[in-house]
Structure 1
Amino acid sequence: MSGHSKFANIKHKKEKNDAAKGKIFTKIGKELAVAVKEGGSADPTNNSRLRDVIAKAKANNMPNDTIERNIKRADSDADVANYAHITYEGYGPNGTAIIVEALTDNKNRTASNVKNAFTKGSGNVGTPGCVSFMFDKKGQIVIDKEEYDGDADELMMQALDAGAEDFAEEEDSFEIFTTPEDFSAVRQTLEEAGIPMAAAEVTMIPQTYVELTDEKDIANIQKTLDMLDDDDDVQDVYHNWAE
């Protein structure tokens, strides 16, 4: 698992988010509301999906009152029930693989916008399953070394004892990997131990990465990723470009 840290990407995203917190908070707010509806409870102790989205919200520095307001929204907003999860898969320049996860109340609008983002970057949307086999679905917890004063070996044992699959030490971070099923329990154990988390979510991790050297290819994939990030229906984007 180790050998290719994505922490630089996470920090880059956080910097972008600081300039546009409203947009990321809107997206996570939607996830919080849907997690309440789908999990059948506004109480995170009885709703593991909601617990995980709250952890994601906190990792993105969403204030507690904003989190609570979005959870309450699920009970009052009838539109929340109309949101559907959709996953798109496709190719960027030089065979790069891209997965897009959306949460939408208008599938036609979302499909059109996603297709447009791929097309503008000289890529194309493929059929379901065309690239997902190149990724592993894993729980991933990232701990910034600047935020953690403890011992690396002790952290590794805490994570493995809690049920983690793998632990990697990178230049500026520690990364903990779990199965999707064990993610919630491992994250909660570390949270209760006071471990600060720069990121905590179930994600899609590429098995291999594609290097892009042509400036036009780099500009094209960046265009696609920026357009997808700007789309309110798009919740998460995964790719195997070695940025």
Structure 2
Amino acid sequence: MVAVRNKEKQEREGAEVEGRDVDKDYVRKDRETYNRRENMSGHSKWSQIKHKKGITDKKKGALFSKLLNTVTIAAKKGEDPDFNPTLRTAIEKAKEANIPQDKIRNAVTRVANKNVEELLIEVYGAGGVAIIIQAISDSKNRTIAEIKKILSDNEARLANPGSVIWSFDAPTQNQNEWRPKFSQEVSNEIREKTRELLETLENNEEVAAIYTNIQ
């Protein structure tokens, strides 16, 4: 009888030990699963942060290039901002964007490079929208080719020289923009297509400014 009770006691103790081992094993596996999920979640979150940072850096770089190109274009009228209000304004905008002083200075002196030229590219967008693209480049053929590709992908095309520019008032000493003489009313569809075209063009680092006659 005593032997039977001892055997039952051993079986109960064995079951308790086994249960504890099972619980420990479950906790260990559950913790490993949790850690894996946390690691995967952290990796995904970091990837998203890197992606967002990449987009932000790209937009920042495009903005810097655009502002510096504007400085170079303005410097064609004179490299001394004290006697060139257009250049002075361009430099002020570059400083507001926290562009380093040495980059601004290089943009001004860049105008002395004979290989660098200002381009005025006349374009017809979707629906016949008139567009002027102001760019600065050290390789006209390359820049034109890049812009033509963007235009063809967005239902736009190069216009014959003079066919668009006549409908804009040229920049003056007091204002540094091409302003349309006539505004064009367009549908929401054409407006959206034009917006997409302009956004793509603005991502090209050699494009300094874009003007349209959309109302």
Give the aligned length. 160
1:218 to 188, 191, 214: 191
In the superposition, relative to structure 1, how do residues 67 and 219 fare at CA in structure 2: closer, same or farther (>3 Å)? same
Q: Which has the higher strand share?
A: 1
Aligned to 1:111: 144
What are the ranges of 5 or more consecutive residues in structure 2 without an aligned counterpart? 1-55
Aligned to 1:93: 126
SS for the counterpart of 1:203 is coil
- Cα distance, 1:70 vs. partner? 2.2
The answer on whether the counterparts of 1:114 and 1:228 sit within 8 Å (CA) in structure 2 is yes
SS for the counterpart of 1:45 is coil
Larger Rg: 2
2:18 maps to 1:44: no
In the superposition, relative to structure 1, how do residues 77 and 207 fare at CA in structure 2: closer, same or farther (>3 Å)? closer
Aligned to 1:235: 208
Aligned to 2:66: 27
SS for the counterpart of 1:89 is strand
Render the CA deviation track for 1:136-176: whole Å, top value 9, x for unaligned: 124xxxxxxxxxxxxxxxxxxxxxxxxxxxxxxxxxxxxxx
SS for the counterpart of 2:176 is strand
What are the ranges of 5 or more consecutive residues in structure 1 without an aligned counterpart? 1-16, 139-179, 184-200
In the superposition, relative to structure 1, how do residues 213 and 120 fare at CA in structure 2: closer, same or farther (>3 Å)? same
- Cα distance, 1:92 vs. partner? 1.0
- Cα distance, 1:72 vs. partner? 3.0
Aligned to 1:62: 97
In the superposition, relative to structure 1, how do residues 84 and 30 fare at CA in structure 2: closer, same or farther (>3 Å)? same
Question: Where do residues 171-190 of structure 1 align in structure 2 (5 Å cutoff)?
Answer: 180-181=172-173, 183=174
Aligned to 1:166: none
Q: Which has the higher contact order (CA 8 A, sep 6+)?
A: 1
Render the CA deviation track for 1:8-41: whole Å, top value 9, x for unaligned: xxxxxxxxx99933321222223435655x4564
In the superposition, relative to structure 1, how do residues 210 and 111 fare at CA in structure 2: closer, same or farther (>3 Å)? same
2:181 to 193, 197, 207: 207
Q: Distance in 1 between matches of 2:114 and 2:145?
A: 22
The answer on whether the counterparts of 1:87 and 1:100 sit within 8 Å (CA) in structure 2 is yes
Which deviates more, 71-80 or 233-242? 71-80
Amino acid at match of 1:241: I
Q: Distance in 1 between matches of 2:60 and 2:147?
A: 22
Q: TM-score, normalised by structure 1?
A: 0.55
SS for the counterpart of 2:82 is helix
Q: Distance in 1 between matches of 2:112 and 2:118?
A: 14
Q: Distance in 2 between matches of 1:79 and 1:56?
A: 22
